[in-house]
């Protein structure tokens, strides 16, 4: 039996480190499924509506950073509760007026199916528009990070890129990253879990002001 939208809602909103909700959707690049992105990381992001100014600045910023995301193995996919015709017209308008081509697909979520699955509509803000949500999904389809911004505030794309760098550095090196970390800066060595490890940590050669806090260069 097919899963209904209501069953998907009842299953709850997406949670970190669990499989991202599967979807199949109409997009400006044809029908796409979450599974089509398997093997790449994916930034699935929603915007409130086509032909709105803040969203236009965000699309330009995402398009300009698309090559940087690509270098990191990350695909982009937008979404709003608008039709493919609207998305196509808006992307053409952005290219005509701002000289920026939108290289990534945009989901036309007219029935709010994907928005509902991911909890992108915040009725306190708008019942008819998706908020500015960002879902970072890794190459295995696991949801790794979520960011929610309100309608009135455009997102910081450099921060989204920094988040990808931090997640990929954590995966590769088994470390964590401190506040405001950028590639090239020292990282956090996970704290010891036993008394014995805590004693050893003090002699491990890291920058260790105290047993629970160690930094090292990659
Ligand atoms: C905008 O993108 O400009 C916008 C969209 C919805 C509400 C407020 C601003």
Predicted confidence (pLDDT) per residue in 125-137, tens digit: 999 999 999 999 9
What's the gap in Å between 216 CA and the centre of ligand 1? Answer: 42
- Report how far residue 47's alpha carbon sits from residue 119's, in angstroms, rounded to the nearest whole number: 13
Residue of 20, 55, 164, 187 with catalytic role: 55
Mutate to test the pocket of ligand 1, among 45, 48, 130 (most ligand atoms within 8 A of CB): 48
Q: How many CB atoms are located within 10 Å of the residue 28 CB? A: 20
Residues 78 and 179 in one domain: no
- Report how far residue 176's alpha carbon sits from residue 192's, in angstroms, rounded to the nearest whole number: 13
Q: Where are the alpha helices (DSSP H) in 119-156?
A: none
Predicted confidence (pLDDT) per residue in 177-198, tens digit: 999 999 999 999 999 999 999 9
Residues 118 and 72 in one domain: yes
Predicted confidence (pLDDT) per residue in 34-85, tens digit: 999 999 999 999 999 999 999 999 999 999 999 999 999 999 999 999 999 9
Residues 142 and 187 in one domain: no
Q: What are phi and psi of 177, to 5 degrees?
A: -125, 140
Residues 119 and 198 in one domain: no
Q: Ligand 1 within 6 A of 52 CB?
A: yes
90 within domain boundaries: yes
Q: CB under 8 Å to 79, separation ≥6 — which residues?
A: 25, 44, 45, 46, 47, 106, 107, 109, 114, 115, 120, 130
| Structural domain count, the chain | 2
- Residue ID of nearest Cα to ligand 1 atom 2: 54
Residues 1-9 have a mean pLDDT of 54
């Amino acid at each position: 039996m097919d899963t209904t939208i209501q069953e998907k809602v009842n299953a709850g909103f997406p949670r970190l480190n669990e499989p991202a909700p599967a979807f199949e959707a109409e997009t400006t690049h044809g029908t796409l499924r979450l599974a089509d992105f398997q093997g790449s990381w994916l930034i699935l992001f929603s915007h409130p509506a086509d032909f709105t100014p803040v969203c236009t600045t965000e699309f330009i910023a995402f398009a300009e950073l698309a090559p940087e995301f690509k270098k990191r193995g990350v695909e982009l996919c937008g979404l709003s509760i608008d039709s493919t015709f609207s998305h196509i017209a808006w992307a053409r308008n952005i290219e005509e007026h701002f000289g920026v081509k939108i290289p990534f697909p945009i989901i036309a979520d007219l029935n709010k199916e994907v928005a509902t699955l991911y909890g992108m509509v915040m009725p306190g803000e708008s019942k008819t528009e998706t908020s500015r949500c960002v879902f970072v999904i890794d190459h295995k389809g696991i949801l790794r990070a979520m960011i929610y911004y309100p309608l009135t505030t455009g997102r910081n794309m450099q921060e989204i890129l920094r988040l990808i760098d931090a997640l990929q550095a954590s995966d590769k090196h088994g470390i964590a990253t401190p506040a405001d970390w950028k590639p090239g800066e020292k990282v956090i060595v996970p704290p010891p879990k036993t008394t014995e490890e805590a004693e050893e940590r003090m002699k491990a050669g890291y920058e260790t002001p105290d047993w629970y806090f160690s930094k090292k260069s990659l």
